A and B are shown apart, each in its own frame.
Chain A
Amino acid sequence: MPDLLIELFSEEIPARMQKRAGEDLKKLVTDGLVEAGLTYASAGAFATPRRLALSVEGLLARSPDLREERKGPKVGAPDQAIEGFCRGAGVARDALQVRDDKKGQVYFAVIDRPGRPAAEIVAEVLEKTIRTFPWPKSMRWGAGSLRWVRPLHSILCILSDEAGAETVPLEVDGITAGNMTKGHRFMAPAAFSVSSFDDYRAKLRRAFVLLDPEERANHIWTDATNAAFAQGLELVEDAGLLAEVAGLVEWPVVLMGEIGADFLDLPPEVLQTSMKEHQKFFSVKNPKTGRIERFVTVANRETADNGATVLAGNQKVLAARLSDAKFFWENDLRIAKGDKMAPWVAQLENVTFHAKLGSQAARIARIAALSGEIAPMVGADAALAVEAAKVAKADLSSEMVYEFPELQGLMGRYYADAAGLPAEVAAACQEHYSPLGPSDDVPSAPVSVTVALADKLDTLTGFWAIDEKPTGSKDPYALRRAALGVIRLVLGNGVRVNIASQLQSDFHLHLSGVRYDVKETFVSNEEWWPGDFDEPELKRGAVEKQDFIVFTNSVESIVFNFDGLSDRFISKRQEVIEGRKADPHYDDYDQYNELVDEIRLRANSIWSPEAKTQNHIQAASLSLATDLLAFFHDRLKVHLRDEGVRHDVIDACLAMPGNDDLVLLVKRAEALTAFLGTEDGTNLLQGFKRANNILTQAEEKDSVEYSFGAEPKLAEDASETALFAALDAEAPQIAAAMKAEDFAAAMSALARLRAPIDAFFEAVQVNSDNAVIRRNRLNLLSRIRTLCLGVADLTKIEG
């Protein structure tokens, strides 16, 4: 059984793509081989900056012979049918066999598909793989048309067994496959031939190339930790950086250098980020001081001076980089201390958050207003929360965050501390972004929680208002994450808030602001709607206009009905543009002008500051809030399901009033889950269902609702009397427990009804012949139903 070795040798492959490319190569080739009948024992893929390699062991030397039998027409069928069958099967007519079938004699074609040699199949599969390789970004080069991640230089493709190795004949766009490769670009550039995977790997190692990325990473990690340890220091772990660096070198050489004393006072996060982002250096920490004092860089070669020149160069570059960072830090500190970050906040007026949602400053104003509203519900000091919200994003204007966006929040905290702002405010600068992911910690400081909630609610309501909701796998504004963030903040901190009404008021804020902006640009800016215009001007405005129309459309579709007017306008305008292109004397503007007039007319009528508009906004806010609440409920379901809560339990609780108070909702769900886990719980559920079924059927039949007036004195049976007594005894208990939101107590009270209900059904026929008795019993069942449904919608529970 031969082994297959493939190497695709190219110019430097981006580090971030190598791992995936190795996996893709393995999958595409092995899938292709198996599909063609070539099974194999094992396969392994490898990548370095300059090569993708695949080793497949224990491959079949030939694909197996296959024989297929195909049933054809009956003997005596028209010639045409028989000829057609022969053509389809690819056999001659005289090769057909005649066999007995249930209905008589039938033609059979026996098609032999002889196996093919592995080399032939490998060549086909590899060529197809190369031509269709799924690089995230690929390119052409020279005068060719082949696409690869960077220019592909050579293809090595051999099949080897005990007898020796054969090169698979293959050519792709002028590159002929062979058995040759090259070593390290600088340390061993000569070409050499290989005869098997083991030979390949060993020769590469002698030519200063470690083929296996994991081996390179291990090598880097071991050498770097040892170098640090020898100085009494420790390497800061960074798996992402390690993988990246392992993808930048074929022959890793670890070098450790010092960070100039001038820079040691920079925040450790700044040092670490600057070194990692710009230079791909690892940080080395002094465990005694917690400071980052050295760096580790990984060179791609050995040198005669043991890396002294390389290290000196790297150190120099780092010094220049850190001078920049230090310059930013000192400038930022000056502004932070000077006027408590006020100039930064002012600058955010010129920074767009989203074209349709205004500036960062406008966004911050909304978040601050919202923080003031939310603070009491979280138990935070409202004044502090508003102060925190106002400066929480100030660091976006700082030079450091401009340079390193990933330090947003953290720098805010440093600068707020430097500005002498209260510790709660400084903490909120950093923590209001949390939680970022499902495993990220949820802040618990009330001011941080308040601003974090306000920030996320503003984002959600904002994007909802402009109709930028997540669809399918697309969620460019991370709205699912924001909603889950709200859920976790609320549940983690037991925040009692009726989200629906809160959302409604947030939407009101958004839509009122939006309305104003639209009116300003839409109605007052006459030049956007020229009756006559020259083409360059139209082109120039086109982008903005397009954007604008989409914008108004989304607001309109919610607030007002524009009947697709904007769409009609856009297509008409396109027609005019094309008309003008085709004919310089084009003058068919009538319809275009009519549309413009109509839009202007409507805009003027709609945006008059009348109470009518307010009502529209009110209605729109309500419908948006309802829609967004449903989104929250979907996210909550996912969240609770992950926590092990049954979906029917969630549905039973979602159906209850107050379902926009997530804390209450979850409390109820937890109690119900526990309750259904007990024997009393499951039996009561059966009792409830039986009562509910009988009742529903009777109500349908009689077209009345049995809900009131069960009389104990009409009880005929002892069990019936006992049920009355039990209901009378438990109802006040349940009511009291519900009032105290003690769902567990309410449910144990319900559980105590189980025995009387069971006994009642055991002894009594509800649908008695006596109509008075029957009605009384149905009304009695209705008391059970009302009590149960007051706790949770048990009709939603399965089983």
Chain B
Amino acid sequence: MAVEKPKSFQEIILRLQAYWAARGCAVMQPYDMEVGAGTFHPATTLRALGSKSWAAAYVQPSRRPTDGRYGENPNRLQHYYQYQVLIKPSPPDLQALYLGSLEAIGIDMEMHDIRFVEDDWESPTLGAWGLGWEVWCDGMEVSQFTYFQQVGGHDCTPVSGELTYGLERLAMYVLGIDHVMEMPYNDPQAPIALSYGDVFRQTEEEYSRWNFDVANTEMLLKHFEEAEAECEAILAQAHDDPKTGKRIVMAHPAYDQCIKASHIFNLLDARGVISVTERQAYIGRVRALAKQCADAFVQTEAGGYAPSAA
């Protein structure tokens, strides 16, 4: 009954992809922008809105500049991977589906202690919240499990079920590795065996230095303002495109700017140039953008907008 143990980081990812694909999820690719967490991917943030059904799974590279430790800390990285699943409406057997995914990556339910521990999720930058748990395996948090209640200030109807796996941490546990850099990235028996450190140690160093000490804060501040202004300018456009004569609400391009502003804020935070009081104001500005993008998305077809109802 027990599944064979995976041998590498990438094998865990591949098994998750195969597992969720077999459960009917559209396996998507990472979003091509810098984000702080898988939730920012429009496949989650925007698709959680509106009435249309949705099921997606994907890996999302995530950046948290303040967590950089020059590749030295066994558990902390400024760039890491999240695995994200979003299903709308949340199916009644989502817990069982989730537990199945743990079995698929080699966690034997008969030998381990799996627990659902209360953890309410809130994203002040996205104006989103939900109720759920952090899932513990033998006392270690291996996933976040959330029923989205609100995104961008909109009630979620139907409700999406969201699963987020911290891939490095989960893989280290399954593979029995103590330092992330020592984790096999591909098969250790492969002709060219690569560790996580072979792939990412150097970049962790480079980005840690840039994040903390070099990033040009004046330029970043300017970029923040620009992204904010562009986001609002995009959303201020009339819904009807004068050139094509079609109704084109540009929710996604606007949301890209929102993501950009959010990441720039994280960089500025890592550079230590944002005071505690300013912090709240910046978060509020990003939230305002996210909210406007959500407002725009529900005016699109994917967001459930029906022309006849207009």
Is A90 among interface residues, defined by CB-CB distance under 8 A?
no
Known: A11-B95, A139-B147, A139-B149. A310 touches B113 (CB 8 A): yes
Which residue in B130, B173, B275, B281 is a CB contact (below 8 Å) of A543? B281
Which residues of B are in contact with A by a Cβ distance under 8 Å? 74-75, 89-92, 95, 109-118, 120, 130-133, 137-140, 147, 149, 157-159, 161, 173, 178, 228-229, 232, 275-277, 281, 284-285, 288
Interfacial chain A residues near B95, Cβ < 8 Å: 11
Is A540 among interface residues, defined by CB-CB distance under 8 A?
yes
Main DSSP-derived SS at the B contact region: mixed
Pair B114/A186 contact, Cβ less than 8 Å = yes
Please report the C-alpha to C-alpha distance between residue A300 and residue B109 in the assembled complex, in whole angstroms: 12
Q: Which of A12-20, A641-649, A757-765 contacts B (4 or more CB under 8 A)?
A: A12-20
Pair A14/B118 contact, Cβ less than 8 Å = yes
Which residue in A151, A309, A311, A352 is a CB contact (below 8 Å) of B277? A352
Which residue in B159, B178, B281 is a CB contact (below 8 Å) of A142? B159
Is A305 among interface residues, defined by CB-CB distance under 8 A?
yes
Q: Which of B120, B229, B277 has the most CB of A within 10 A?
A: B277
Q: What are 22 A-B pairs at a CB distance below 8 A?
A: A14-B118, A16-B118, A49-B116, A137-B131, A140-B159, A142-B89, A143-B89, A153-B92, A248-B115, A300-B114, A300-B115, A309-B111, A312-B138, A313-B137, A314-B138, A314-B139, A316-B178, A350-B275, A352-B276, A352-B277, A536-B232, A544-B281
Interfacial chain B residues near A316, Cβ < 8 Å: 140, 178
Pair B139/A297 contact, Cβ less than 8 Å = yes
Chain A, residues 108-152, CB within 8 Å of chain B (1/0): the string is 000000000000000000000000000001011111100001110
9 extra A-B contacts, CB within 8 A, seeds A12-B116, A141-B89, A536-B228: A143-B159, A149-B131, A151-B90, A248-B115, A297-B139, A309-B112, A317-B138, A540-B281, A544-B281
Interfacial chain A residues near B173, Cβ < 8 Å: 313
Please report the C-alpha to C-alpha distance between residue A49 and residue B275 in the assembled complex, in whole angstroms: 41
Pair A303/B117 contact, Cβ less than 8 Å = no
Please report the C-alpha to C-alpha distance between residue A305 and residue B108 in the assembled complex, in whole angstroms: 12
Pair B139/A313 contact, Cβ less than 8 Å = yes
Contact size range, A:
35 or more
Please report the C-alpha to C-alpha distance between residue A303 and residue B110 in the assembled complex, in whole angstroms: 6
Please report the C-alpha to C-alpha distance between residue A144 and residue B75 in the assembled complex, in whole angstroms: 40
Interfacial chain B residues near A318, Cβ < 8 Å: 139
Pair B116/A543 contact, Cβ less than 8 Å = no
In the complex, how many angstroms separate the beta carbon of B293 from the nearest chain A beta carbon?
Answer: 15
9 closest Cβ pairs, A-B complex: A313-B138, A14-B118, A12-B116, A314-B139, A143-B158, A299-B113, A143-B89, A142-B89, A139-B131
In the complex, how many angstroms separate the beta carbon of A14 from the nearest chain B beta carbon?
Answer: 4
Closest residue to B149 on the A side, CB-wise?
A: A139
Is A41 among interface residues, defined by CB-CB distance under 8 A?
no
Interfacial chain B residues near A508, Cβ < 8 Å: none
Known: A279-B139, A352-B276. A536 touches B229 (CB 8 A): yes
Please report the C-alpha to C-alpha distance between residue A139 and residue B288 in the assembled complex, in whole angstroms: 24
Is A301 among interface residues, defined by CB-CB distance under 8 A?
yes
Interfacial chain A residues near B115, Cβ < 8 Å: 248-249, 300
Known: A314-B139, A350-B276. A150 touches B285 (CB 8 A): no
Which residues of A are in contact with B by a Cβ distance under 8 Å? 11-12, 14-16, 49, 137, 139-144, 149-151, 153, 186, 248-249, 279, 297, 299-301, 303-305, 309-314, 316-318, 320, 323, 350-352, 355, 536, 539-540, 543-544
In the complex, how many angstroms separate the beta carbon of A429 from the nearest chain B beta carbon?
Answer: 23
Which residue in A297, A304, A536 is a CB contact (below 8 Å) of B111? A304
Known: A139-B131, A143-B89, A248-B117. A540 touches B138 (CB 8 A): no
Please report the C-alpha to C-alpha distance between residue A113 and residue B62 in the assembled complex, in whole angstroms: 67
Interfacial chain B residues near A310, Cβ < 8 Å: 111-113, 138
Please report the C-alpha to C-alpha distance between residue A73 and residue B225 in the assembled complex, in whole angstroms: 79
Closest residue to B117 on the A side, CB-wise?
A: A248
Please report the C-alpha to C-alpha distance between residue A297 and residue B113 in the assembled complex, in whole angstroms: 11
Please report the C-alpha to C-alpha distance between residue A249 and residue B116 in the assembled complex, in whole angstroms: 10
Closest residue to A298 on the B side, CB-wise?
A: B113
Pair A303/B229 contact, Cβ less than 8 Å = no
Please report the C-alpha to C-alpha distance between residue A153 and residue B109 in the assembled complex, in whole angstroms: 22
Known: A297-B139, A313-B173, A540-B285. A142 touches B91 (CB 8 A): yes
Please report the C-alpha to C-alpha distance between residue A149 and residue B74 in the assembled complex, in whole angstroms: 37
Interfacial chain A residues near B161, Cβ < 8 Å: 141
Closest residue to B51 on the A side, CB-wise?
A: A143
Pair A309/B133 contact, Cβ less than 8 Å = no
Q: Which of A304, A311, A313, A540 has the most CB of B within 10 A?
A: A313
Interfacial chain B residues near A323, Cβ < 8 Å: 74
In the complex, how many angstroms separate the beta carbon of A134 from the nearest chain B beta carbon?
Answer: 16
Interfacial chain A residues near B285, Cβ < 8 Å: 540
Closest residue to A281 on the B side, CB-wise?
A: B139
Pair B90/A142 contact, Cβ less than 8 Å = yes
Please report the C-alpha to C-alpha distance between residue A207 and residue B112 in the assembled complex, in whole angstroms: 18
Known: A139-B149, A299-B113, A300-B113. A317 touches B159 (CB 8 A): no
Pair A11/B116 contact, Cβ less than 8 Å = yes
In the complex, how many angstroms separate the beta carbon of B282 from the nearest chain A beta carbon?
Answer: 10
